[in-house]
Structure 1
Amino acid sequence: MQKYLSVRGGARARLKLLGYYAQRVCTSRRLRRVTTRALIAGLGALHGRDGRPREPGPRVAILRAQGFLRMDRLLSPCQCAEMLAWLRPRPLIAARGNGAAFTLETAPRDANIGDYPLETVVNCPHVLDLANRPDMLALAAGYLGYTPVITLMGLRWSFPVDGDGDADVQHFHRDVEPGSIKLLVYLTDVDDRSGPHHYVPRSHLDRMPLRMQRYADPDVQRRHGGSIAIIGPAGTAVAIDNKGIHKGVPPQARPRLLLVIQYSLLPCLMYEYAPVPYRGRARFSPYTNRLMIAPQPAPASAAAHPTP
């Protein structure tokens, strides 16, 4: 997962955080639409016309209307099993806890969430291939209006705990990054007792709140008529407009492993990006993947390596 910026990170970090909080002042849907159109025009002027195919079909229309789009299984059972086997011995980080490292077998009994470091996520089998599938990029481009940038990638275990969970992501909330959608893919079977993702249909059309906040379940029921639970076997996926109200329910019966990929128009100002090496980087768009994959190292100069 990406690390969050801290005000202790220096002047550049503080300036980015100021920009992040400044954009949250814009709560009007109409003004946000106007700003997004201007942003797309600016990206076109800076990077050229958007040549990536966009999906104009019914999937984009459903996502615009409902805020979420159920998808077919994007990963096969064999692919999910291969990813789980590859991840099993690798360390997790209690990023939303005390920051301690542990493996799946040594997870503390009080751990409710564990994230893999970005280097593990990027190099996990099938992750970048899925993130860069032409149909996924076309869906993101069609919804956002321009070639997307991958601004977040994560692999997260949610473990059974008593109660409702402590993490913000386990309570109804919104993400306030402008011009973003997320692809959520289950890598384990998910039913009502193993941590389904909940989304509140059409809540992405609300006026954005000025402050980040949790939404109590009774309030969501009263104002929006409740939420939709996404359940299904490993490989099941859903795309969401993350401005809508959503949460990941804490598992009760067994742990859940979730792959998260976020597509955006611009880098998210709240994250500290540190792209990691990847041997197959030449297969993927440098523009789309520049925040996740480190660029090709420059070849050593002849002066640095003189011929004897």
Structure 2
Amino acid sequence: MKNLFRTNKQGHNKALWNYFVKSTPRRRQWYAARLGAKQGASLDARQRLAKELAASGGGYEIPLENGFAVFSPGTFAEVDDIVGTVREIIAAREAEVAPGNKDFLQQGYLDVAHLTDESPFLRFALREDVIAAIAGYLGVVPVLAKIDVWKSDNSPSQHHASQLYHCDWDDTAQLKIFIYASDVDIASGPLTLMEAEASDKLRSSIGYTYGRKGYRVNDEVANRVVGRDPQHEITGVAGTSVFADTSRCFHYGSRVQEGGQPRLVGFFQFVTPTSFLFPPGGYQQVAPYRGLARDDHSELVRMVLGAI
């Protein structure tokens, strides 16, 4: 293992990455710890600031045992603007897409040009209380990895891919935020989450490995191992915000029923600095929004954008 971090010019060893990342929880944790040791002072600074934010009390909490929290419309001032903008973006894109040429989940609707300082997406993502809640859960100031707009439609095919229970491989723990831009009921294919502690039990029971063939789990297995109580279909009116650790929590979504209303979502992803999305050389090389950081931004904002 002495050559563990010998990489190519881009700081990446694909075979090694697959061995550790698409693997068991224990092996993934070990690999992430080694990445953290390489980051040294940079990671220490993020952990210290996370503790300071937690001590100051941001008012919002994501319970570790659950791995998710749901916030009602009106909790965050920017959400109404996000809802309206998501609807406008999807309406404009729908006019460009031929009927019948759609999968059950359409992603990539958000143009990065929308992400100015005035953008409700960026204003929400950089709110100190939102960052404090995420940092309190993760134990470290996160890196913003993704902002997007999604639409889920009915599909005639059998449930597959992200419509089946799975855990995301991107990190050992992360927070994804789903802001409903439409009213979401059972027929709209809501995000469905299994509590983190129950997810631990399921992973252990079936010898789960992340990201490899067969890492999707059907409902029957989940029901048999953990029962229905720790499984939650997150319905809600437009403006509902769901903060979910999709690496620790089994989850699925987009099971839009025939005749059900499409599900419209504003999407955010926050990961740790040791996320498997980044090469061993560090997140500063590839953090997607690092170019938005300015000298007059606070240290916290620059950290979240991945500039420091």
TM-score w.r.t. the length of structure 2 is: 0.71
Partners of 1:269 and 1:39 in 2: how far apart? 9
Which of 110, 125, 129 is matched with 1:131 structurally? Answer: 125
Question: Any conservation in 2 of the 1:204–1:241 contact (CA below 8 Å)?
Answer: no
Question: Any conservation in 2 of the 1:89–1:104 contact (CA below 8 Å)?
Answer: yes
- The AA in structure 1 aligned to 2:179 is V
Paired residue for 1:174?
167
2:253 is the alignment partner of 1:248: yes
Question: Any conservation in 2 of the 1:131–1:261 contact (CA below 8 Å)?
Answer: yes
Instruction: Give the superposition deviation at 1:288.
Output: 0.9
Structure showing the higher helix proportion among its residues: 2
Question: Any conservation in 1 of the 2:84–2:181 contact (CA below 8 Å)?
Answer: no
- The AA in structure 2 aligned to 1:15 is N
CA deviations on 1:177-227 (whole Å, 9 max, x unpaired) are 223122221111111111211001233434472243111111111112132
Paired residue for 1:148?
142
CA deviations on 1:239-291 (whole Å, 9 max, x unpaired) are 11212110113222111111221222126434776548659895572221138
Paired residue for 2:302?
286
SS in 2 for 1:66: coil
Q: 1:139 to 1:274 in 2, by over 3 A?
A: closer
Question: Any conservation in 2 of the 1:194–1:256 contact (CA below 8 Å)?
Answer: yes
- The AA in structure 2 aligned to 1:46 is S
Partners of 2:296 and 2:115 in 1: how far apart? 14
Q: 1:78 to 1:86 in 2, by over 3 A?
A: same
Unaligned ranges ≥5, structure 2? 1-7, 279-285
Stretch of structure 1 that moved more, 177-186 or 207-216: 207-216
Question: Any conservation in 2 of the 1:192–1:231 contact (CA below 8 Å)?
Answer: yes
Unaligned ranges ≥5, structure 1? 1-9, 92-102, 296-308
CA deviations on 1:160-191 (whole Å, 9 max, x unpaired) are 2224444x222111112223122221111111
Question: Any conservation in 2 of the 1:200–1:224 contact (CA below 8 Å)?
Answer: no
CA RMSD in angstroms comes to 3.6
2:85 is the alignment partner of 1:106: no
- The AA in structure 1 aligned to 2:163 is Q
Question: Any conservation in 1 of the 2:80–2:239 contact (CA below 8 Å)?
Answer: no
Question: Any conservation in 2 of the 1:180–1:241 contact (CA below 8 Å)?
Answer: yes
- The AA in structure 2 aligned to 1:238 is V
Paired residue for 2:209?
210
Q: How does 1:174-253 map to 2 (within 5 A)?
A: 174-176=167-169, 177-201=171-195, 202-206=197-201, 207=204, 209-212=208-211, 213-226=215-228, 227-242=231-246, 243-252=248-257, 253=260
Question: Any conservation in 2 of the 1:161–1:251 contact (CA below 8 Å)?
Answer: yes
Instruction: Give the superposition deviation at 1:16.
Output: 5.1
Partners of 1:199 and 1:104 in 2: how far apart? 32
- The AA in structure 2 aligned to 1:70 is V
Paired residue for 1:96?
none
- The AA in structure 1 aligned to 2:165 is F
Calculate percent identity across the aligned residue pairs: 22
Q: 1:217 to 1:251 in 2, by over 3 A?
A: same
Paired residue for 1:46?
42
Question: Any conservation in 2 of the 1:76–1:235 contact (CA below 8 Å)?
Answer: no
